[in-house]
Amino acid sequence: MVENRKSSSIDEKWSGLARLGGYACVAMLVIMAAQMIVFIMWPPPDTVLDLFNLFQKNAFLGLLSMDLLYVVNNSVLILIYLALYTALKPVNESAALVALVSGLVGIAAYYPSNTAFEMLALSRQYAAALNDAQRLIYQSAGQAMLETYGGTAFDMYYVLNAAALLIFAVLMFRSPSFSKTIAAIGLASGILMTIPSTAGTLGLIFSLASLLPWAVFLVLITPRFFRLGHK
């Protein structure tokens, strides 16, 4: 693949995507803050029955506990990936495309892994059950949904998005649109995302540790996107 060190400008036809990327970064920072507030004020339940009880008391809070905001977050991430591709394809279009596809496939894998609305439906069926045998069936189904929630699709989402960020970060080192500091922060966040949060204590540590560089990365790339979008 041949490197291209042309100017930081982009084609005018791509400028709209760059601007959308800037707005998406702002939206994601707001969503991340909201996620942290929800997690701190209303820690998610640990068991299926506790989740069912939460859904029955407050369906919206139950959905938030099942990462409803994360679904929105990943939808916003699509726009950020498109903006990164737009900004970095002048450096190496082949590598930027690989990163974009990796990220989009990872996001697509996430959606079926999130079982928030399935758990909401099961909680209602559990509450309406006529006997213990029926309740046991819905409880078992709920446990299966939780296993799906942290299963193969989620792990693939995690790994593919880490790969996308790592490639984008490497390209940033060669791009005049981004500083080496931004590239290094993106690289650090990508490295910390290589271990899924489902991988026990180590995964949880890496997942939490990746949040700070990711947030800083978003803050720093936002003005770059707006600048590229207004050229």
Sign of CA dihedral 229, 88, 98, 162: negative
- Distance CA(163)–CA(143), nearest Å, equals 30
Burial of 10 (0-12, 13-18, 19+ CB in 10 A): buried
SS3 label, residue 168: helix
Q: Which residues of 213-224 are buried (b: 16+ CB within 10 A; e: fewer)?
A: bbbbbbebbbeb
Inter-axis angle of helices 15-41 and 200-229, to 10 degrees? 140
End-to-end CA distance of the chain: 27
- In the chain the beta strands, taken as DSSP E runs, fall at none
In one-letter notation, the amino acid at residue 64 is L
Q: Which residue has the tokens 């590239």?
A: 183
Token pair for 100: 């974009």
- Rounded to two decimals, what is the model's pTM? 0.88
Burial letters 136-149, b for 16+ CB under 10 A, else e: eebbebbeebbebb
Q: How many CB atoms lie within 10 A of CB 134?
A: 13
Q: What is the pLDDT along the chain (231 residues), one digit of tens a residue?
A: 333 444 455 666 778 888 999 999 999 999 999 999 998 998 888 889 999 999 999 999 999 999 899 999 999 999 999 999 999 999 999 999 999 999 999 999 999 889 999 999 999 999 998 898 999 999 999 999 888 887 888 889 999 999 999 999 999 999 998 999 999 999 999 999 988 888 888 888 888 888 899 999 999 999 999 988 775
Cβ-in-10-Å burial (0-12, 13-18, 19+) of 182 comes to: buried
